[in-house]
Chains A and B, each alone.
With several copies, the nearest count.
Chain A
């Protein structure tokens, strides 16, 4: 399981975590990707980084499915705190509350966080 808790663009963690997810998909592992806290901002629509000159990788989250990664979880509490709904996101995700997210984490062999 990969856990994303940081906003995109302000730091590189989101982009480099996405690169890990894409590689993990190739390994045919049972990979889950979690977006919580500011990590939910990674998935917002309409990102346009042209004027800040950085890479716009937000559309690449759609490619996760092609890499066999279908388990995308977003924490409900984090979405709500930021006034976001699933319709604001670039990909289809499962919305889970904090309690359920904790249970999912418990089931993992490995948790990589960025």
Chain B
């Protein structure tokens, strides 16, 4: 079955990102397809490449990155939600005259159309959030 996942809350602050990660992993392990994980609201912070959690805690941005590499996952961060919250990729940073960017390369920035498209194409949309 084809799943799409929406993550609405930031990593660590809410368990929602952990739940979404574990659900996604379980779905992939059972042979299902996850056609997109869309990060909205504070969920965009899952895409940070500057996160440095304590060594005895899980590193969620890294876990997503590794899962994406293993399964060719499409991890999409909403552009408008990300801009508000200070999450930029290299080209967005350049466009806004910022000298640094903080989005992990395992994620891509795109518009809300990607969420709607995922809703249309997936058999099931599962939402995790605050």
A contact set with B: CB distance below 8 Å: 9-13, 16, 19-20, 23-24, 26-27, 29, 52-55, 109-114
- What size tier do the contact residues of chain B reach? 20 to 34
Q: How many whole Å from B41's CB to the nearest CB in chain A? A: 6
Alpha-carbon distance A79/B53, docked complex (angstroms): 33
B contact set with A: CB distance below 8 Å: 6, 8, 12-15, 18-19, 22, 40-41, 56-58, 80-81, 111-113, 115-117, 119-120, 122, 125, 127, 129
Which residue from chain B places its CB closest to the CB of A31 in the assembled complex? B116
Asked whether, in the complex, the Cβ of A20 is within 8 Å of the Cβ of B112, the reply is yes
- The 8 Å CB contact of B41, one of A9, A16, A24, A111, is A16
Alpha-carbon distance A11/B13, docked complex (angstroms): 5
Q: How many whole Å from A92's CB to the nearest CB in chain B? A: 24
Alpha-carbon distance A29/B125, docked complex (angstroms): 16
Asked whether, in the complex, the Cβ of A54 is within 8 Å of the Cβ of B15, the reply is yes
Give the chain A neighbours of B15 by CB distance below 8 A: 9-11, 52, 54
Asked whether, in the complex, the Cβ of A53 is within 8 Å of the Cβ of B58, the reply is yes
> Given A54-B58, A113-B127, A114-B8: A11 and B112 within 8 A (CB)?
no
- The 8 Å CB contact of B13, one of A12, A23, A53, is A12
| Sample of 30 A–B contacts (CB below 8 Å) | A10-B14, A11-B15, A13-B41, A16-B40, A16-B41, A16-B80, A19-B80, A19-B112, A20-B116, A23-B111, A23-B115, A24-B119, A26-B113, A27-B116, A29-B116, A29-B120, A52-B19, A52-B22, A54-B15, A54-B18, A54-B58, A55-B56, A55-B57, A109-B119, A110-B119, A112-B6, A112-B125, A112-B127, A113-B127, A114-B8
